[in-house]
A and B are shown apart, each in its own frame.
Chain A
Amino acid sequence: MKILVAIKQVPDTESRIKVAADGRSLDPVDVKWITSPYDEYALEEAIRIKEGKGAEVVAISVGGDTTKEVLKNALALGADSAVLLRGDGQGDAFAVAQMIAAYAKDKGFDLILCGNMGLGGDNSAMGPMLAELLGVGQANVVVKLELGEGTFKAEREIEVGSEIVEGSLPAVITAQKGLNEPRYASLKGIMAAKKKTIEELEGTPVVAGALVSTLALPPERPAGRRLEGEPAAQAQALIQALKDEAKVF
C-alpha cells in the first residue's frame, strides 16, 4: 500500500509572537520551527503500518527552503521519500489542499495521513479539504485506526467521548494525540536519511480562499486581584467578588 503523510512546519508554541512589518504575518526572527505535533502522530502511524503490513511512505510538505528540515526529520524517522512543494504553506489551508491534491491525484495513494490541526494557524481544515478535492472519505481527530481490505475503521474524538467511523480506502485520516506514541529518530535512521534526497516541485497555481488581512496581539488582560486571609476568608471574598463585581452568578 502507498501512504502519503502531510507534514506542516510550524512555530514552536513557546516562541514569542511578533507581528511583521506588513501587519499581517508572523515576524520570523524569534521563531523556532518544528514539525506540528499532530503530524508526528500521523507519520508514526504510517511507519507502524509499514512495519506491520508493509507500505511505501511518502512525506510531503508545502513550504520553502527551511521546510526541508521537517522532511529530513520524516526521512530519518522512516519515510521512504519526501516531497517539497514550493509555495506558501503557512497561510490559506485551501491553497495548501489544492497543491497537495494536484500532486497526489494520480499517484495511487491508498491512505493519506495528516495532523488534525497545524499548530499556530490552528485551522483544522487542510485534511477535510484535501479529502473533498480528491473525492475520498475522511475521518478527523482520530485516536485509533484499523485498516481492512480496502476499508478503514477509525475511532475519532467527539465532544462526549468518541465515535467509530467506517469507510472505504483511499481516505484522509487526521491524527489526534492518543493515536500512538511517536518514536525518536535513531542514529541509523538519521544516517540513512542523509543519503535520501528531497524531491522539489513547484506548487501548482491555486484559487485563493481565506487570507489574513491583519495580525494583532490580544489586548492585555487587566491586572488581577489577590484575595488575602485565611482560606475561609479567601473563599468568601472570591465568591462575593464573582457575584458582585464579575456578575458571574
Chain B
Amino acid sequence: MIPRTLFQKIWDAHVVHRLPEGPALIYVDLHLVHEVTSPQAFEGLRLTGRRVRRPDLTIATVDHNVPTGDRLTPIADAVAARQLEALQRNARESGVELFDLHSPHQGIVHVIGPELGLTQPGMVIVCGDSHTSTHGAFGALAFGIGTSEVEHVLATQCLVASEPRTLEAHFLGRPGTGVAAKDLILALIGQIGTAGATGHVIEYTGEAIRALSMEERMTVCNMSIEAGARAGLIAPDETTFAYLAGRPRAPHGAAWTRAVEQWKRLPSDPGAEYDVGIALDAATVAPQVTWGTSPGMVKDITGRVPRPSDFPTEAEQGAAARALEYMGLAPGTPLEGLPIDRVFLGSCTNARIEDLRVAARVVRGHRVAPHVRALVVPGSQQVKAQAEREGLDRIFREAGFEWRNSGCSMCLGMNADILQPGERCASTSNRNFEGRQGRGGRTHLMSPAMAAAAAVEGRLVDVREWELAS
C-alpha cells in the first residue's frame, strides 16, 4: 500500500463519485449554518422546490450579528433581527436543529461544534464561513464555502471539489514561556504570506504541535485560511480523544470504542509524501503582533514597524506604505510601547476557556489603563458559564473589562461593537483588514496574554517581561 497522508485518507473515504470533467463529489458529514451566509441558500431551495436532504447532519446557530449585551431585551437592530428570524424560520421549516439566542449552547459556530462533540476526527465538515478550518484541529477536513455551495450542500449533502494539494508545516522544538499557539500560527503566516498556502491543505506536525492542547490546536487551524489554505489539519491523538470523551454529541459506549479504533488509523502513514514542506523552529518564535492591514504583516513584539523600502517588490512596497498610512504608524516605531485605545478578547480564534484563563491570570489584581476600553466576549455561552463558575468574570470585571454574552462581536463588527475611526485595538481575533473592526479602526492581532497585558498597561508590551515584572 502506498503510504497516505491524513488528508488523503479523509478525502478518499468521502469521494462519492469522480466527475468525468475532473473534480470529485465529496460527501459532507456535518454542515454548520449561521445567519449571515445562509438566507439566500434557503431561499434558493424554496425557489427551485428543493429540500434539505439531510437535516440530521445540519446544525445552525446565530453568531455573526447577534448583540452581546442583555439577551432579554429585544434586538435594537431591526435588519439584524430579520436575519435571525429568517434563520429561525428556515431551520424550523427544514427540520434543522438551531441553537438560538436563548439556547445555553449558542455561540460562535466554530466554538460550539467542538464543544458539543459534533466535530470529530475523519469527518468532512463545511460551513459558509472561512474559519471552518478551525475544526481541522480534530483531524477533520473542514472547508469554508460560499453561499451557493451552502445551497448545494443543503440540497445534495455533497460538495463538488477539486483535490487540493498538501503542505506540511512542521514545528520543531518547544515554544518558550509566554509564547502561545497564536504566536506560532502568526509566525508561520509571516513567513509564507497570506497566499502562501493557496490551493493547499496544511497539515501541522512536529513536537510543538503535539504538545498543544485541543483549544490551542484550534487556534492554529483557525488561522490556516489567513495563510490562504483550503483547510488546516492536525492528526488526532490521545489529546483529541480525551477532549472528546463524554461530550454530548460524541459517540458513547461501544460506539465510542469503535470510533476511537477508526480515528487511530487516520494519522499520516510513515513515509507519506506532501506536495510542499516547510519547517519552523518553535523555540525561536517570540510573541507576535501585526503592524499592518493583513495578517501576514506581522513582527516580533521586540521588533519595529518596517519601512516600505524593506520589501523586495514594488507591489509589497506599495501595500506596506498604504498599510502604514491606514494604521497611522511611522516606519521604525518600536511595537513595544505603542499606545492603544481598545482591547478585544474574543472570536473563534481565541475566546475559549483556556484563552480566558490565561488572560485572567495576566489581569488578576490589576486595573485596565484608564484611557482603555476593554471587552471580553466569550466564544460560547458554555465558555461564559464555565468562566463564571471559575470566577474569571469577576477578575475581568474588577479589572474594568466589560463582560459580554457570546458572539462574533468586534471580530467583524456587524453588531454594535465597533472601533471608532483612528482607534487602536489590541485584538485576539484573526483579521486586521482595513475597517474589519469598524471603519478607520486600527487592529493589532496578538495572543490573549499579550492583549490582556496591553489592556493593563495601555500600550503594547512584551508579555514575557511583563509577567516577570509583576
Bound together: no
Q: A residues bordering B, Cβ < 8 Å?
A: none
